Structure 1
Amino acid sequence: MALIITDECINCDVCEPECPNGAITQGDEIYEIDPDLCTECVGHYDTSQCVEVCPVDCIPKDPEHEETQEELYAKYQRITGEE
């Protein structure tokens, strides 16, 4: 499933540059993750890079966007154009 940034975000700016899919952007109040671009770093890394660098642990899985590893990998393939 895609990830989501909660309102515990302190806008520290460390997650945005870590996202290989460009899924993280600055929202009105806090950073936001586009679920159409978030693959939890499947295809790029073994772990979600934004979660790894977040100092306040505010990036859980988004229950509104449940996806299997296979679905995340298929999304990665669509985003990157890899077969």
Structure 2
Amino acid sequence: MKVHVDPQLCQGHTLCAMTASDLFALRDEDGHAYVLFDEVPPEMEDQAREAARSCPEQAIVLS
């Protein structure tokens, strides 16, 4: 599974980082999220799905 944060939609609510801190980090300059892995490890896929569901801006794209 791949995960991507759309920088145009992310508003820096930080819910993804709170939900899946091993997958997402926040930029210092604007507080927007970014993904730490190109490919989500299989054992973290549920966390990625939960983070996508929790994003109020629907900025997290799973593929």
Query: What TM-score do you get using the length of structure 1 for normalisation?
Result: 0.56
Aligned equivalents of 1:31, 1:46: Cα separation in 2 = 15
Larger relative contact order, structure 1 or 2 (CA cutoff 8 Å, min sep 6): 2
What is the number of equivalent residue pairs in this alignment? 59
Q: Output aligned runs, 1:1-83, within 5 Å.
A: 1-7=1-7, 8-19=9-20, 22-27=22-27, 28-29=29-30, 30-36=32-38, 38-39=40-41, 42-43=42-43, 45=46, 48-61=49-62
Greater share of residues in helix: 2
Question: CA-atom RMSD, angstroms?
Answer: 2.6
In structure 2, the gaps of 5 or more residues are none
The answer to which structure has the higher strand fraction is 2
**Radius of gyration: which is bigger?**
1
Identity of aligned residues (%): 12
